Amino acid sequence: MKTTTKQKIAFAILFLCTVIVVLPVLFVLAVVIKNGWPAINWEFLTTMPRNNMKAGGIYPAIMGTIYLVSLSTLFSLPIGLFAAIYLNEYAEENMLTRLIRLAIVNLAGVSSVVYGLFGLVMFVTFLKFGVSILSGALTLAIMNLPVIITASVEALASVPYSFREVSRSLGASRWQTIRHSVLPFAIPGILTGAILSLARAAGETAPILFTVAAFYLPNLPHSVFDQAMALPYHLYIISTQIPGIPQQMRYATALVLVGIVFSMNIFAVIIRSKFRKKKKW
């Protein structure tokens, strides 16, 4: 066989594999859009559910998800970032820090239902926050910490050592150096990690199942100590728990959830490319 023919075959196989990866995603998207789109309208997005969820909108679930995602990020981003800075810029390389790193990598792989149970024990019961937005957001934050820390450590580590060296040689303190010569150049990576974990927080059901999610609430939550509805759980309920829900509503709910997650990911990509263009080395 000629080399060019071999090459063509190799490319064809590689291409096929790529298609196999992408195809199911596109297929799911197509099904969700096709079936869900007709049911999406202003009323669906902005009104409360009615008639035992069989009619009306999903407004409280959308708002609940937004509350949960924002509050959990408020906890996880600063804590994760500072932990990453400590690990990458300050911590000595010893048994303890190696152990911490190992723990973080492993925590990133723990199934989300485990975080849900942890949240139940820790926040709902032990700290007596009850089944509440606070408990749910904290649980999601804990789940996301390893992802944020790992992404941030990588982003910090990718900033050349020479930046730190120059900065110190010009008299900057350790913190000034991190603040002005390291962090600005690590932001794209940090943001990417943060936004990907946001998307995960928006989409997961298990961590919120025992800690915050409500089957149905007649009004929006008033404080962080109230329960809330949330999109993934709502989708789970209307898909499995209540018979006779119009097919369209399920797909429309799924579409909204996918849409939120998807736009967050797109947002991450845009921010990253923006920063990349500005700061190259």
Partner 1 sequence: MAKILTKNLNLWYGTFQALINVNMAVQEKRITAIIGPSGCGKSTLLRVFNRMNDLIEGVRTKGKVEIDNQNILEGDFSELVQLRKKVGMVFQRPNPFPLSIYENIIFGLKVHHLAKKEEFDRIVERALESVLLWDDLKDKLHSNALRLSLEQRQRLCIARAIAVAPDIVLMDEPCSALDPQSTARIEELMRELKKDYTIIIVTHNMQQAARVSDDTGFMLLGELVEFDNTDKIFTRPQDKRTEDYITGRYG
Residues within the interface to partner 1 (CB under 8 A): 92, 160, 162-163, 165-173, 176, 180-181, 185, 279-281
In the complex, what is the shortest distance from the CB of residue 281 to partner 1, in angstroms, rounded to a whole number? 4
Distance in Å, CB of 83 to partner 1, minimum: 21
Q: Which of 115, 73, 65 is nearest to 228 (CA)?
A: 65
Minimum Å gap between C-beta 152 and partner 1 is 19
Beta carbon nearer to partner 1, 75 or 163:
163
- What is the rounded distance in angstroms from the CA atom of residue 201 to the CA atom of residue 72? 8
Nearer to partner 1, 68 or 178 (CB): 178
At closest approach, how far in Å is the CB of 125 from partner 1? 44
Task: Give the nearer residue to partner 1 in terms of CB position, either 42 or 92.
Answer: 92
Compare residues 18 and 162 and give the one whose CB is closer to partner 1.
162
Give me the least distance between CB of 214 and partner 1, in Å please.
Answer: 49
Give 113 or 172: the residue with its C-beta nearer to partner 1: 172
How is residue 136 written in tokens?
Answer: 């749910």
Closer to partner 1 by Cβ: residue 111 or 162: 162
Return phi, psi of residue 56, to 5°: 80, -160
> Do residues 82 and 88 touch, judged by C-beta distance below 8 A?
no
**Please, are residues 176 and 167 in contact by the beta-carbon 8 Å criterion?**
yes
Q: Residue 190 CB, nearest distance to partner 1 (Å)?
A: 17
Helix (H, G, I), strand (E, B) or coil at 228: strand
Nearer to partner 1, 168 or 272 (CB): 168
Give the integer Cα–Cα distance in Å for 162 and 12.
43
The distance of closest approach from Cβ of residue 178 to partner 1 in the complex, given in angstroms and rounded to an integer, is 13
Sequence-ordered list of residues with C-beta below 8 angstroms from that of 75, at least 6 positions apart, any chain:
137, 138, 141
Q: Where are the alpha helices (DSSP H) in 95-222?
A: 95-108, 112-119, 133-157, 161-169, 174-177, 183-203, 206-209
CA distance 213 to 207: 9
Tell me the two tokens of residue 77: 């981003």
* C-alpha closest to that of 64 among 263, 258, 222: 222
Extended strands (E) in the chain: 49-50, 55-56
Shorter beta-carbon distance to partner 1: residue 112 or 177: 177
Chain centroid to Cα 219, Å, comes to 26
Q: How far is the CB of 96 from partner 1 (least distance, A)?
A: 16
